[in-house]
Amino acid sequence: MEQKIRVHSFQEAKTYAALGQKVVENFSSQLGIGGDLETIESINADHRDMTKFSDKEDEGYRAVRGVLQTCIRTLPAQSRPSVAAPTEVDIVNSRMTEPEPILDENEQRQVQRFSSDYVTPLQDIPERHPGTCEWILRNKDFNSWIDGPSTALWISGPPGMGKTVIAKFLLEHFEKSTPSRKTVHFFFSDRDGTRRSPIAFLKAAIHQFIRHSARLFKEHVKPRIASFGDTVYESPALLWDIFFDMTQDPTLGPLVCVLDALDECDPKSWQDLIRRIGAHFSPSAESQGTKSSQQFKFVITSRPYDDINIHFSHFSVLRLQAENEDRRINQDITLFVENEVSRLAERRKYSPGLKTMVQGALIAGADGMFLWVHLMLEILSKTPVTRVSEQLRTLPQGIDPLYNRILDEIPKESMDTVKVILKWVVFAVRPLTLDELSMAVETFKH
């Protein structure tokens, strides 16, 4: 039985600048068989660029792809090549060979609306002292999590014990130990109104995902913007959908998300955050159509509040209780104190005996709190050498008494100014710069 072959011919629409004419003229780029057997279409490019497509949204690419899809659909079933369904590995390998798409100006503006300053808070965290924090890498709960299936790890610990420094250490460890592992991070802060909501976390995480691969914007964000418009940027439901879709995208590969200070998240919102993360990693997630990527890990730090513990207890979330690691924390504090007091003693010209006395007093009084040691070092750095022994004899026990000591040492003539400063610091929507705070205080005085 005779079958007629249909032909679709593509022509260059633009002249080649170097020649001043088309390389292949229209009459040469078609068979000329006429009738309905040949379709002729132009691609808006010259001969050199007509098959160079910027991305999958390129008009020329879409035209060629559409024709190929039509050809395949119209083939008789018995004539179609028998090809096994692509595996996830095939998809990843295929995408890895594709060049990263280039975002146009409008798309870049859309991406920028997810952006926030999530880098500065990370840079502001003090650097750990060599040898500290490393105990966590040997912790059995941590290793069960890192070696096990995809799930979340909750690291709990009391205030002042250095959870944020640990979070930064883990982030750097993941990046250095496995370069192929992608990381995203967010540090909640109850002192900064721009870093208190789950929406702020989600937008920052999505922005970091897109920095890893612009393709994620094309595939997971752009279609939603087309459907929902600007609602995408402020809708928790849509942002969570985008977030989890991206974490399951095989092109990202191994992924770790580090989320610090959950207890400083907006109290009205953190319950929903725990519920969504917990449900995503729960054993029933797959049966409910919420399959978790086996390469996605989540680290969360917070204080060991009962409410947070109760909410986490409903889900398959591993817990590392840093509050039970007194020996490890105290070893870290000892290292920290010995290093810092050595520097202080050299700067303030302490005698060997006084240096030893200060080290012993701070190690004994720390009670697992780096913050307490840090504040005491600040006080001692301004204390005359002749009064250091007196300070050590009346060391405040705990953070609150230490804050009271600091307030008690404010000169009476400065108290009114300090009260004004504290009011501005407490009620400001975000942390103020020194220049802004200075201007506010001067304005208040006048």
Q: CB of 293 within 8 A of CB of 257?
A: no
Q: CB of 132 within 8 A of CB of 336?
A: yes
Beta pairing partners, 42: 11
pLDDT digits (tens, 9 = 90+) for 174-216: 999 888 889 999 999 988 888 999 999 999 999 999 999 999 9
Give pTM, 2 decimals.
Answer: 0.71
Q: Which domains does the chain show, CATH number per domain?
A: 7-79 (no CATH), 105-324 (3.40.50.300), 327-445 (no CATH)
User: Residue ranges of the chain with pLDDT lower than 70?
Assistant: 1-4, 16-23, 27-29, 31-38, 48, 54-55, 57-58, 62-63, 66-67, 69-98, 283-294, 445-446
Residue type, 423: K
In degrees rounded to 5, what are phi and psi of residue 21? -160, 175
pLDDT at 307: 93
Q: CB of 413 within 8 A of CB of 429?
A: no
Q: Give the Cα separation of 12 and 24 in Å (integer).
A: 8
> Token digits for 346?
């050299």
> Token digits for 162?
């250095």
Neighbouring C-alpha atoms within 13 Å toward the C-beta of 258? 21
pLDDT at 45: 75
pLDDT at 408: 78
pLDDT at 209: 96
pLDDT at 288: 45
The CA radius of gyration of the chain, in Å to the nearest whole number, is 31
pLDDT at 225: 96
Q: Which residues contact 178 (CB under 8 A, 6 or more apart)?
A: 254
> Token digits for 366?
């720390």
- The residue whose two tokens read 């989320």 is 259
In degrees rounded to 5, what are phi and psi of residue 188? -65, 155
Q: Give the Cα separation of 355 and 151 in Å (integer).
A: 46
- The residue whose two tokens read 């050498």 is 385
Closest of 328, 280, 274 to residue 302, by C-alpha: 274
Whole-angstrom CA distances from 46 to 9, 128, 268 are 15, 58, 58
Q: Decide the pairing of beta strands 318-321 and 296-302.
A: unpaired
Q: Give the Cα separation of 344 and 382 in Å (integer).
A: 10
3-class secondary structure for the chain? CCCCCCEEEEEECCCECCCCECCCCHHHCCCCCCCCCEEEEEECCCCCCCCCCCCCCCHHHHHHHHHHHHHHHHCCHHHCCCCCCCCHHHHHHHHHHCCCCCCCHHHHHHHHCCCCCCCHHHHHCCCCCCCCCHHHHHCHHHHHHHHCCCCEEEEECCCCCCHHHHHHHHHHHHHHHCCCCEEEEEECCCCCHHHCCHHHHHHHHHHHHHHHCCHHHHHHHHHHHHHHHHHHHCCHHHHHHHHHHHHCCCCCCCEEEEEECHHHCCCCCHHHHHHHHHHHCCCCCCCCCCCCCCCEEEEEEECCCHHHHHHHCCCCCEEEEHHHCHHHHHHHHHHHHHHHHHHHHHHHCCCHHHHHHHHHHHHHHCCCCHHHHHHHHHHHHCCCHHHHHHHHHCCCCCHHHHHHHHHHCCCHHHHHHHHHHHHHHHHCCCCCCHHHHHHHHHHHHC
> Token digits for 420?
């004004």
Q: Give the Cα separation of 222 and 215 in Å (integer).
A: 10
Closest of 420, 426, 427, 396 to residue 409, by C-alpha: 396
Q: Give the Cα separation of 85 and 224 in Å (integer).
A: 27
Q: CB of 242 within 8 A of CB of 169?
A: no
pLDDT at 72: 64
